[in-house]
């Protein structure tokens, strides 16, 4: 059974991301502040839920949350700062969007939220000094498999997944030959065969190994 809070703070947020291992599309981060004592029998790590269950949970989380935020980091930014930094930066951006500002943050994974702040990258949001200082002041802890342990992280994982899936469904209409509506940009055999046949798009992550063999892909 998932736990409500890790800390004794009432305004605690959980944060997570989706799409880190994909070859195409954004990495999507989310942060959620749930009411103290929030209960839901279905809520779990999004990877353990069916698509139907995630879609059912999304409006429940959005309606009952004290606050939530979702951010997409695009492939160009991923290529520039790498996927691990992009995943963390997305979660940091979500925290800055929350109102009220959380008193404590629990992060899925093994890396603290403020491990690296203020990356000077070309694409995407640039953090101000005020925003960096704010992120430094909020205590946080990383929890391995936290999305299967705490409700707020699980809720964040659901929003990150549903919003990213919706994004991939939209760009599928632009490039249907990759079948992103089905594979969501993950490195399936079908997706890689399409890359081999049709080349790459503006949505592919060029810093990733798009094909098993080392080939020079046409841009």
3-state secondary structure (DSSP) of residue 177: helix
> Within 10 A of 68 (CB to CB), how many other CB atoms are there?
21
Residue-wise pLDDT for 98-120, tens only, equals 999 999 999 999 999 988 898 88
Calculate mean pLDDT across residues 158-177.
98
Predicted pLDDT of residue 1: 83
Calculate mean pLDDT across residues 171-178.
98
Q: Are 58 and 26 in contact (CB under 8 A)?
A: no
DSSP state for residue 199 in the 8-state scheme: -
Q: How far apart are CA 138 and CA 148, in angstroms?
A: 23
Whole-model pTM: value is 0.94
> Within 10 A of 165 (CB to CB), how many other CB atoms are there?
22
Predicted pLDDT of residue 114: 87
Residue 170 has pLDDT above 70, yes or no: yes
Give, in order, the Cα–Cα distances in Å from 149 to each of 34, 98, 117.
14, 22, 26
> Within 10 A of 120 (CB to CB), how many other CB atoms are there?
7
Q: Any idea of the CA torsion for 187, 193, 196, 202, to the nearest 10 degrees?
A: -50
Q: Are 43 and 140 in contact (CB under 8 A)?
A: no
Q: How far apart are CA 166 and CA 176, in angstroms?
A: 14
Residue 213 has pLDDT above 60, yes or no: yes
Calculate mean pLDDT across residues 34-48.
91
Predicted pLDDT of residue 190: 96
User: How many Å from the N-terminal Cα to the C-terminal Cα in the chain?
Assistant: 48
């Amino acid at each position: 059974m998932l736990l409500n809070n890790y800390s004794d703070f009432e305004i605690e947020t959980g944060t997570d991301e989706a799409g880190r291992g994909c070859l195409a599309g954004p990495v999507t981060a989310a942060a959620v502040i749930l009411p103290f004592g929030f209960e839901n029998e279905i809520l779990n790590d999004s990877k353990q839920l069916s698509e139907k269950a995630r879609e059912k949970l999304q409006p429940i989380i959005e309606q009952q949350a004290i606050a939530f935020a979702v951010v997409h980091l695009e492939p160009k930014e991923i290529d520039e700062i790498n996927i691990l930094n992009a995943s963390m930066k997305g979660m940091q951006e979500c925290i800055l969007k929350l109102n009220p500002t959380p008193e404590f943050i629990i992060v899925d994974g093994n890396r603290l939220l403020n491990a690296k702040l203020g990356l000077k990258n070309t694409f995407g949001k640039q953090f101000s000094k005020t925003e960096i200082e704010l992120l430094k002041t909020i205590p946080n802890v990383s929890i391995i498999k936290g999305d299967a342990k705490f409700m707020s992280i699980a809720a964040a994982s659901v929003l990150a997944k549903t919003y990213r899936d919706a994004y991939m469904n939209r760009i599928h209409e632009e490039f249907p030959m990759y079948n992103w509506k089905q594979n969501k940009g993950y490195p399936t055999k079908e997706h890689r065969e399409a890359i081999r046949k049709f080349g790459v798009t503006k949505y592919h992550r060029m810093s990733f190994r798009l094909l098993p063999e080392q080939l020079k892909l046409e841009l």
